[in-house]
Amino acid sequence: MTDLSLYEEVILKHSKNPQNFGHLVNPTIEIVEENPVCGDKIALQVEITNNFITDIKFTGKGCAISLSSASLMSEKIKGSTISEVEQNIKTFKAMLIANNDTEFDNLGELRALGTLKKFPVRIKCALLAWIALERCIENFSS
Ligand code: ZN
């Protein structure tokens, strides 16, 4: 199996069966973010306790890319500290504009979305959940 079809499989799997889809009982922060280019919309909820992301859920509708990105992101950052999350946001954004993927091994399955840099319009779909996450962290920190 080539890397590309493996990556497509990851994106399909997460878009059909998104992880952490739903609502939190007591979210610390909630952010709604839209991508008008594609019609994607996501409502992201995070619960933050003692500087840890103790829980995260999202709802919304959108293309396979935006849903799988939100699902993969939620799996990646659940249980992380705020500073780890900030680092992950930075690394993920860097991956979408990088020339090679070798330095992004620690992103795990999220590397599947790195293939999208060939399709600039889809990068907004991949970034949607991450922009929502970034705004959550900013609101929490301010
Ligand atoms: Zn989209």
Residue 38 CA to ligand 1 center (angstroms) comes to: 5
Is 103's pLDDT higher than 90? no
The whole-number pLDDT of residue 101 equals 64
- Name the token pair of 56: 């995260």
Residues paired with residue 40 on neighbouring β-strands, in sequence order: 35
> Residues whose CB is under 5 A from ligand 1 (ion)?
38, 40, 63, 66, 125
Residue 41 CA to ligand 1 center (angstroms) comes to: 9
Q: Report the chain's terminal Cα–Cα distance, integer Å.
A: 46
- Name the token pair of 60: 């919304």
Q: What is the pTM of this model?
A: 0.92
Q: What tens digit of pLDDT does each residue of 16-60 get?
A: 999 999 999 999 999 999 999 999 999 999 999 999 999 999 999
Residue 47 CA to ligand 1 center (angstroms) comes to: 26
